[in-house]
Amino acid sequence: RTLQVDLGERSYPIYIGGGLLSQAGDYFARHGLSAKSPVLIVTDDNVAPLHLKQVEESLRQAGYSTVVKIVPAGEKSKSLDVFEDVMTAAIEGGLDRKSAVVALGGGVVGDLAGFVAASYMRGVPFVQMPTTILAHDSSVGGKVAVNHRLAKNMIGAFYQPEMVLYDVDTLQTLPEREVRAGLAEVVKHGLIWDEAFTSWCREHTAELLALDPEALGYALTKGCEIKAHVVSRDERENGLRAILNLGHTIGHAIEAIAGYGEYLHGEAISIGMAAAALISVNRGADRSLYEETTSILRGFGLPTIMPEQLDEDKIIGAMMHDKKFKEQQLVFILPKSIGKVEIVSDVKVEEVRRVIRELKEEG
Ligand code: NAD
Ligand code: ZN
């Protein structure tokens, strides 16, 4: 399957299917990437033993020389320290302006390598090779970043790849918890944009959790398509793009106060999506909106209740740090019905406190 992300001169294709990594060299040649310039492959120490060899071999067969930088797995690698390490590898490896930087891995490697690609010699070609379900989201849209000690994703850029090569075979080695968490963002794309796709996700929950290639391929194509559509209408988040943040205001707060790593991103936004639905219900929407939202998420084994140990004041405090807070009112993405959301800028702190308490009582 091929999808096109329409961004004028910065448009690029997303290829989704099986066996793509072993054809990486052909795709590079087809996209006119220079075989005279070394290619830097950035990956992590979980992904490298599983999937690196095929990429290296395929590129080598097509006449490309490769430099590999393996970073430690996990969010900690999205740091300026590791960014500098990757830069060192790029310089020592002799990368030039026509060299491509490849991100082989999940969202961490994608965001890190993307920021390297955006900065090395003020920008070199970038290729995303996502290996997680969550990365269907992070590999589309051009946001690349590393974290600052004080704030996540604080140092970054908008930088679009030349192409995304999404080999769904790599997903077979994902730990089950990562599968569930990644599917939370797939469901999110349904909830914000497409009622029929949301129903499809509910009906194919078992196949998706079993990593059925046909079902996965469809779901990831649909998820990428929705994200690409939204991003192509609003590349720099001046308006519409904000709807992609459904569940993220509370989700980010949960991630921050529980300590990064305690909840996977997908788990935290699952609770956040339940909370957003409940805010809508408290504002007059039919309660079935909340029931349906949470039943889909629970079907994927995702959490939808607020853990008792997460302190209400701390959650609110963490949300205040969020970029979307203005004068005691919060900008929230709230569902109107399954598949439709609205950007609401007058959510009161008290409304959020109320759903935090209500979601704790559900437990
Ligand atoms: P990740 O990259 O840390 O991957 C999750 C875990 O799975 C890691 O331990 C990794 O080593 C392992 N892994 C990856 N692929 C594997 C495979 N095929 N087999 C076995 N193990 C594998 O995390 P993620 O969930 O992919 O991404 C999270 C990151 O993405 C966060 O930093 C988040 O900020 C970022 N993100 C960015 C955007 C964006 O628009 N740029 C959007 C959403 C999320
Ligand atoms: Zn997200």
Token pair 């080598």: residue:
60
pLDDT band of 238, cuts 50, 70, 90: confident
pLDDT at residue 52 greater than cutoff 70: yes
Assess whether the region 2-173 and the region 176-361 belong to the same CATH fold. no
How would DSSP label each residue in 284-328? T--HHHHHHHHHHHHHTT---S--TTS-HHHHHHHHHHSTTEETT
Would the pLDDT of 351 be above 90?
yes
Among protein residues, the one with the nearest Cα to ligand 1's atom 39 is: 138
Q: What is the pLDDT of residues 151-204, one digit of tens each?
A: 788 999 999 999 999 999 999 999 999 999 999 999 999 999 999 999 999 999
∠ CA 273-201-131, nearest 5°, is 85
Q: Lowest-pLDDT range, 8-22, 226-240, 241-255?
A: 226-240
Q: Which CATH architecture has domain 2-173?
A: 3-Layer(aba) Sandwich (3.40)
* Pocket-testing residue among 134, 158, 159, ligand 1, by greatest number of atoms within 8 A of Cβ: 134
**pLDDT value of residue 150:** 81
> Which pLDDT value is given to residue 237?
80
Least confident of 48-57, 241-250, 325-334: 325-334
How much is the mean pLDDT over the chain? 95
Q: What is the pLDDT of residues 190-225, one digit of tens each?
A: 999 999 999 999 999 999 999 999 999 999 999 999
Instruction: Indicate the helix (H) or strand (E) that contains 169.
Output: none
pLDDT of residue 199: 98
- Domain ranges in the chain are 2-173, 176-361
pLDDT single digits (tens) 283-341: 999 999 999 999 999 999 999 999 999 999 999 988 887 655 666 788 899 999 999 99
Exposure of 37 in the CB half-sphere (CA atoms within 13 A): 19
Percent pLDDT > 90 in the chain is 86
Q: Can you give the pLDDT at residue 325?
A: 61
Q: What average pLDDT does this structure show over 339-357? A: 95
Binding site as annotated, residues: 107-111, 131-132, 143, 152, 170-173, 185, 248, 265
pLDDT at 85 exceeding the cut of 80: yes
| Residue-level pLDDT at 256 | 86
Residue 59 DSSP label: H
pLDDT of 79 over the 70 cut: yes
Fold of 176-361: Dehydroquinate synthase-like, alpha domain (1.20.1090)
CA of 287 to the centre of ligand 1 (A): 34
* Ligand 1 binding pocket includes 47 (Cβ within 6 Å): yes
Show the DSSP H helices in 46-79 as ranges. Answer: 53-61
Give pLDDT tens digits for 91-119.
999 999 999 999 999 999 999 999 999 99
What per-residue confidence (pLDDT) applies to 327?
65
The pLDDT score that the predictor gives to residue 321 is 74
CA–CA distance, 115 with 231 (Å, rounded to integer): 19
Per DSSP, the three-state class of 250 is helix
* Active centre residues (catalytic): 122, 143, 185, 227, 237, 241, 245, 248, 252, 265
